[in-house]
Structure 1
């Protein structure tokens, strides 16, 4: 059984990653942006989606109204918090609202603007990206009511900060992502065994609860409800549920959150018929086609390309090789469906305006999600659904866990 890190270790890692993010990634995002100040405003229990990227683990929610200001100066980016005193927060941010019992909070923020005279103030408002739309109507009203028009008129929506601050991985996160993937896949490997899967007895719902329970047992969160479905010879529908029978092709979808990092994975298993000792050759061949399409997509995930360009180039290459494929991959970072370039959608196999126009960057993590159709399971077009958690760095794409080229045999 795989072991996970203690809570103390996880907190230490998350704080190290936060320090790296604030010192490396935030300045990089500010350099790409035209903002003099990035303003982050969160209310308790209604936090901006970028909250988890900017605060230490011992500060799990906003305190009443928590404001951060990232200020571009000639010496670099200065980080202030305009919030009630907190020693955990003050290890990462300078406290600006010192006289908090006497001075109103908005007056302190106004004073900060007067000191630094920003020409442009970026706020998290967006109609295109959920993660960049964190300024609530209530918080915006507080800013408009509490600040001079001199400053509110300089506020504008800038998607760069929320996307890049959450999409780009720190050195420690890049180093630890294989470990996070190992923990996630270990649950699937434990599930796809004859001890757990009993043909004629075990149901797809049983296996869904197995994934949930094992994640909870390990002290982890699953960020979406795990799913399990079946492709069965003689049944036209590609994803059915119910009691598992010999000859079924099992397909799961599962992802965890661990140390503030996400996975998103789909793996296949075959339930043997009486007398079978290996996977039917047609399924082996179908998975090989799927693996080839995975590699095609990875070959086209080049930094500087947009998500739409990766999508179009990958499907064009698949068509040239006679592969019948669908592509719907997405960034996987602090959210499972994370900020960054969209590469196709299940519901739209075409170029996606705006969200598909974001460019691919190095030091990012992804869910390589796709399917192909190939002859198997008694029909001409059997769906082979897969999803791998992958990482892109300066050397290219890396699969984070072995086994993508195998269908687990349950005898």
Structure 2
């Protein structure tokens, strides 16, 4: 689902109305990435910038030390956001100690890091605690939030045995992981835009006569085209692309549909964005898209830092009802992960209230995927369809508004099976296969 974060995460991140930044008027282009060596250097710079925020983050939550212990192939979720770009797993037992950079630890690396298979780490850690005297030591033991619950049971038991009296000062504070992993740094935004454009370019090519032949090409054919093309671009994806023919019965899920694409079909792809049609589309499809666009605007108008995801969700639902729009919102943060840490606004199976994750606050300086659908009765087809869209936004600190990263879809892709030479690339989420 995020679509662009997927490329962003794997390609460069190790890792929406708002203004007048709407559907781009020119075709998208594949953006060349730096070499792998250059990417690694960029990733490490971003990582270091994020690590610099640790002392203030610990102070915010009244934490003196944050301890992460993990073994090779049994890593803490936090590992992927603190590691070097050339590391693929924690070696042996890797222990990280984040601190507030005060007292006896002032000037020490942050985190202090041990790679150990002898047990020497434990007396050294106890000595540090004896000198530093932390009152509250955070462990990632949360049972509800993955980004604050990455400490494996065996490692937890080992900590309890080795740290003695210091285990009495252990606390659970999941927002440390949520805030640290969710936060973006300025240098990431340009790559976020470039990779968003690359994803649009992928969709433009996939949903054209170059790839789709109505009556022959299947949705699975298009899914695997995405996978093969991404290899050529030296990028990957967070999830296998899911291409679906939209029908009144279709619903967002974990797989696409297994259909032969026919003329007149309306398609959706969940991987990057979606794609649709142009001038000769039924007018009912145009109105459906407009409703979904309006829902996006409603979400962004109500997303304010400090509100919980459930508060934003309820405000949006009230506004939708007042405007006569039926639909569902299931928006989430993106960043280092496709479903990144932070407040969610609805799930597909929890349309009005989400326990735990819905009660987290909206954080500024993060990226979000505005994912939702609007219902609309398409008179020309005599059926009600879900118009599914998903676009990425970032927090613009200058305007203090959420802003689309590259644009949002406001018109359809068109596979013109009759006149291939007249096809124009447009961009994004839904695709209409134009009848002859």
Normalising by the smaller structure, the TM-score range is 0.7 to 0.9
- Aligned counterparts of 2:210 and 2:111: Cα–Cα separation in 1: 55
- Aligned counterparts of 2:55 and 2:266: Cα–Cα separation in 1: 48
Residue of structure 2 equivalent to 1:279: 281
Do the aligned partners of 1:174 and 1:363 also contact (CA within 8 Å) in 2? no
Residue of structure 1 equivalent to 2:269: 252
Residue of structure 1 equivalent to 2:114: 83
- Aligned counterparts of 1:380 and 1:296: Cα–Cα separation in 2: 25
Match of 1:192 among 203, 207, 214: 207
- Aligned counterparts of 2:41 and 2:113: Cα–Cα separation in 1: 25
Secondary structure at 1:162 match in 2: helix
Match of 2:410 among 397, 405, 409: 405
**Higher percent of residues as strand:** 1
Match of 1:133 among 124, 128, 149: 149
Do the aligned partners of 1:364 and 1:393 also contact (CA within 8 Å) in 2? no
Give unpaired runs (5+ residues) of structure 2.
Answer: 1-28, 252-256, 417-436
Tell me the CA shift for residue 302 of structure 1: 1.0
Residue of structure 2 equivalent to 1:89: none
Secondary structure at 1:220 match in 2: coil
Query: Could you say if the C-alpha distance between residues 342 and 62 of structure 1 is closer, same or farther in structure 2, counting changes exceeding 3 Å?
Result: same
Match of 2:358 among 339, 356, 359: 356
Match of 1:318 among 313, 320, 336: 320
| TM-score normalised per structure 2 | 0.82
**Residues 74-101 of structure 1, C-alpha deviation per residue, up to 9 Å, x if partnerless?**
47785143423xxxxxxxxxxxxxxx79
Query: Could you say if the C-alpha distance between residues 229 and 367 of structure 1 is closer, same or farther in structure 2, counting changes exceeding 3 Å?
Result: same
* 2:169 matches 1:154: yes
Match of 1:238 among 247, 250, 271: 250
**Residues 152-202 of structure 1, C-alpha deviation per residue, up to 9 Å, x if partnerless?**
111111112110111111122234321221222221122111111100000
Query: Could you say if the C-alpha distance between residues 400 and 310 of structure 1 is closer, same or farther in structure 2, counting changes exceeding 3 Å?
Result: same
* 2:276 matches 1:269: yes
Do the aligned partners of 2:55 and 2:101 also contact (CA within 8 Å) in 1? no
* 2:248 matches 1:219: no
Structure 1 runs, 4 residues or longer, greater than 4 Å off: 75-78, 100-103
Do the aligned partners of 2:65 and 2:134 also contact (CA within 8 Å) in 1? yes
Query: Could you say if the C-alpha distance between residues 393 and 41 of structure 1 is closer, same or farther in structure 2, counting changes exceeding 3 Å?
Result: farther
Query: Could you say if the C-alpha distance between residues 325 and 335 of structure 1 is closer, same or farther in structure 2, counting changes exceeding 3 Å?
Result: same
Which of 1 and 2 has higher RCO (CA within 8 Å, sep 6+)? 2
* 2:96 matches 1:65: no
* 2:79 matches 1:51: yes
Report matched runs for 1:272-351 at 5 Å: 278-351=280-353
Q: CA RMSD, aligned part only?
A: 2.0
Match of 1:21 among 50, 59, 65: 50
Q: How many residues get paired? A: 376
Give unpaired runs (5+ residues) of structure 1.
Answer: 85-99, 255-264
